[in-house]
Amino acid sequence: MNTFRWGEWVALTSQKGRKWLVRIEEGPYSSHLGTIQMEDVVGKEEGDYLDTNKGARMFLFRPTLEDYIFSMNRHTQIIYPKDLGAIIFYGDIQPGCTILESGIGSGALSLALLRALCGTGRLISVEKRPEFARKARENISKYFGANPPNHDIISADIQDFHMNLKADRIFLDLPEPWHAIASVSRLIRHGGLLLSLSPNVGQVQMMFKELKTHGFANITTFELLKRDWMVDERRARPIDRMVAHTGFITLAKRTPRLFIEGSSGE
């Protein structure tokens, strides 16, 4: 029986799905639904519930990575889960990979990549803004309970960055990622995958040009739209608002030779 223990995080969840991430420590926790005593969570199983002093029922769940990402402190907009899932799958992330990413933002992508690596391989995060690097390190350490030993955060400009090993995967989340292609093309092995996330189509076009120039092939770009539905005993319909465009994901493979202008790959 996997029960809650002191010091763990718990997602207090209302019957309507509202969530509060709270550490299990001595003392009360209050919301507009009322107050519960956090020591009462200890020994409860996941899925159990407590009633507040106002009679509201609060279910007890362990936070998912999505829960944590949306609750963590951040300087920047996070990469949404719909895009994180696509990046992990289309980036073919697996244990043992060596991954280079820039920039780190608030650490959402780093968390997803580290989870997918399962404690193996290596993640190197390059961030030129020290305050972003510090906040990301705090968020990542808070989630794992310590700094993961296979993760390095380096304060540097990716355009001037050098390393002795070759990356299997490179991820770019930068305002002008095309400026980094010349540099990172030397840091990725032949056959390696590069993924870039950009909000504007003009950025994608600039990326496409630079990727072709620096020896990348099989360049594809897509976006993902997520629409939730309202379902109960009486109705089933799309909700009025959706997570629509958040960014374009561009995927490319490194080749051992430069692209020949005018050649056809069809």
Q: Which residue has the tokens 């400009």?
A: 157
Residue 204, both tokens: 């994608």
Q: Which residues pair with 30 in a beta bridge?
A: 35
| 110 and 231 co-located in one domain | yes
Flag whether 210 is in a domain. yes
117-143 per-position pLDDT tens digit: 999 999 999 999 999 999 999 999 999
Q: Give the DSSP letter of residue 135.
A: H
Flag whether 1 is in a domain. no
Flag whether 83 is in a domain. yes
According to the annotation, is 107 in a ligand binding site? Answer: yes
The parent domain of residue 86 ranges over 67-254
Q: What is the residue-averaged pLDDT of the chain? A: 93
C-beta separation of 45 from 3 below 8 A: yes
C-beta separation of 255 from 219 below 8 A: no
| 171 and 39 co-located in one domain | no
Residues counted in the chain:
266
| 97 and 136 co-located in one domain | yes
In 154-226, which ranges are continuous DSSP H helix? Answer: 181-184, 201-213
Say what the pLDDT of residue 81 is.
94
6-18 per-position pLDDT tens digit: 999 999 999 999 9
| 167 and 48 co-located in one domain | no
For residue 260, what pLDDT band results from cuts at 50, 70 and 90?
Answer: very low
Give me the number of domains the chain comprises. Answer: 2
| 175 and 83 co-located in one domain | yes
Flag whether 38 is in a domain. yes
CA atoms in the 13 A half-sphere facing the CB of 176: 4
According to the annotation, is 228 in a ligand binding site? Answer: no
148-178 per-position pLDDT tens digit: 999 999 999 999 999 999 999 999 999 999 9
How far CA 206 is from CA of 180, 192, 197, 198, 265, in Å, comes to: 11, 21, 13, 11, 20
pTM value? Answer: 0.90
Q: Give the DSSP letter of residue 122.
A: E
- The C-alpha atoms of residue 239 and residue 206 are separated, in whole angstroms, by 35
| 46 and 152 co-located in one domain | no
Flag whether 82 is in a domain. yes
| 111 and 190 co-located in one domain | yes
Looking at the predicted structure, is the pLDDT value of residue 204 above 80?
yes
Flag whether 50 is in a domain. yes
C-beta separation of 75 from 106 below 8 A: yes
According to the annotation, is 202 in a ligand binding site? Answer: no
- Residue 215: asked if its preceding bond is cis (omega within 30°), the reply is no
Q: Give the DSSP letter of residue 19.
A: E
- Which range is least confidently modeled, 66-70, 248-252, 255-259? 255-259
According to the annotation, is 223 in a ligand binding site? Answer: no
| 36 and 134 co-located in one domain | no
Phi–psi pair at 211, nearest 5 degrees: -60, -45
C-beta separation of 169 from 196 below 8 A: no
Q: Give the CATH number for residue 79.
A: 3.40.50.150
In the chain, which ranges are continuous DSSP H helix? Answer: 65-71, 81-90, 108-117, 130-144, 181-184, 201-213
